[in-house]
Amino acid sequence: MATQLRRAALPLDTIIYPDSDGKPMADNTQQFRWIQVIYHNLAWLFDPNPEVFVAGDLLWYPVEGDNKIRQAPDVMVVFGVEKGDRGSYQQWKENHIAPQVVFEILSPGNTLTEMSRKQIFYDRYGVEEYYIYDPDRRDLSGWIRREQHLTLLEDLNHWVSPRLGICFQGTTPELQLIRPDGQPFATYTEVSQQLAVTNQQLQAANQQLEATSQQLEATSQQLEAERQRADRLAQRLQELGIDPQSLA
């Protein structure tokens, strides 16, 4: 009788959780740009909060002991864990907190089967909000967790994310994401241009301040010269026996 041998389970501390799945972050410049825009703007938005972790293309392992169950969202946001560098997001090391918000940016290479698998994964492992944007088709889809499952959002125009507080506005000509303060998400180039304008304005203000300071200094020197002249005149009058106060 043949005996079937079972492979012994490896000790948990010997299992390796790779930091890379060997896949590129993006397939084209448009997909990469959108990943960067969403990642950086969310990182800026939550920068003051040390308990919000924002990551891009980071492998997420939800189950300790199984390095095959994993996914690398284009952007994910986790509330309740500390900021900091990680090789991967191993959920059991993060107080068992699953990423609450996930973004995926589609490329022509994404298949329906692949995206279906991702949605099943995010549904199963606790994602609260899931957004997919196809920049080629200008198409936005979203799901929110209701009654323990991700449910499709029928209309995302002017939808405000419960977790992020950002507003989704239209997809023509491109998706608009608006911060809680009303400012739109900006690209790195737009931020650089805004900083350049601000620096120019600061430079002009500094030059104006310097000019005003020099003018005040000149006025002060003139007043001091007039005061010294008046003192000399008063002294001369006293030498002539004339009381300067009598001339007032």
Secondary structure in 3-state letters for 48-87: CCCCEEEEECCCEECCCCCCCCCECCCEEEEECCCCCCCC
- Identify the pLDDT of residue 197: 57
- As a whole number of angstroms, the distance between CA 65 and CA 105 comes to 29
The answer to whether position 23 is within a domain reads: yes
In terms of domains, do 40 and 68 share one? yes
In terms of domains, do 116 and 214 share one? no
Sign of CA dihedral 25, 30, 33, 39: negative
Q: What is the pLDDT of residues 41-56, one digit of tens each?
A: 999 999 999 999 999 9
Say if residues 174 and 133 touch (Cβ distance below 8 Å). Answer: no
Flag residues of the chain having pLDDT under 50: 1-8
- Identify the pLDDT of residue 196: 59
- Identify the pLDDT of residue 216: 86
In terms of domains, do 64 and 180 share one? yes
- Identify the pLDDT of residue 232: 87
The answer to whether position 120 is within a domain reads: yes
In terms of domains, do 26 and 107 share one? yes
In terms of domains, do 172 and 197 share one? no
In terms of domains, do 146 and 220 share one? no
For 12, the token pair is 């948990």
Which CATH number belongs to the domain containing residue 148 in this structure? 3.90.1570.20
- Identify the pLDDT of residue 207: 80
- Identify the pLDDT of residue 192: 60
The answer to whether position 2 is within a domain reads: no
In terms of domains, do 135 and 229 share one? no
Q: How many domains does the chain have?
A: 2
The answer to whether position 161 is within a domain reads: yes
The answer to whether position 5 is within a domain reads: no
- Identify the pLDDT of residue 189: 77
In terms of domains, do 103 and 61 share one? yes
In terms of domains, do 146 and 201 share one? no
Say if residues 86 and 105 touch (Cβ distance below 8 Å). Answer: no
Domain that holds residue 21: 14-185
The answer to whether position 9 is within a domain reads: no
In terms of domains, do 181 and 203 share one? no
- Identify the pLDDT of residue 2: 44
- Identify the pLDDT of residue 4: 45
